[in-house]
A and B are shown apart, each in its own frame.
Chain A
């Protein structure tokens, strides 16, 4: 089991550019979560999916952020256009059910300059 796989590990982009973060959850995990971690705000849940369907996107900061899960093995988080305040570590996590807890990926460190 390779765990939750995120790519890229690091991304540096210029303000105004589009950024796409990718996540491959663990096979068989029906839940997928996107979190953002910053020093100021800690861990924030952005959105989560159950069986590829978005369930709660109330944490998505604004319309510049969008997330998709076209199939059970892949999800993307897109920021367009990116801004310096989007700089953070973005984590993807997957889960089989509420008793099991989450398995986190290693994160994508995004820097917007």
Chain B
């Protein structure tokens, strides 16, 4: 069965600093991987996704993520964080195909200090 782990429950970074949020997955084949962001009182918004091809994927809002099969990881990065990036971030893994069922991590809450 698939599973996804986000080891960091809460992270605080300074505005302008770089960011890396960790995501580890468990799945036998090549998974479909996603990062979502949730601002307070809002639904989840898709940031980026990976299912094949180039292992470094670019997303919206200046985010990128790298798929590393050897480490079973799909970490989210941003070179310079803005105050508006404060939100909760969710990693999700799916099997792909007709199933189209995602398993979400427990989320990482990002705080940005001035």
Contacts and interface: CB of A to CB of B under 8 A. Distances in A.
A108 to B, nearest CB: 10
Given A42-B104, A42-B106, A43-B104, A98 B98 contact: yes
A103 B104 CA distance: 14
A34 interface: no
A75 interface: no
B43 A105 contact: yes
Interface in A20-65: 31, 42-43, 45, 48, 50, 56
Interface string B89-114: 01000111111111010110000000
A7 interface: no
B34 A50 contact: no
Interface of B: 32, 34, 36, 41-46, 49, 51, 90, 94-102, 104, 106-107
Interface of A: 4, 31, 42-43, 45, 48, 50, 56, 91, 93, 95, 97-107
5 shortest interchain CB distances as A-B pairs: A104-B43, A98-B100, A104-B44, A43-B104, A98-B96
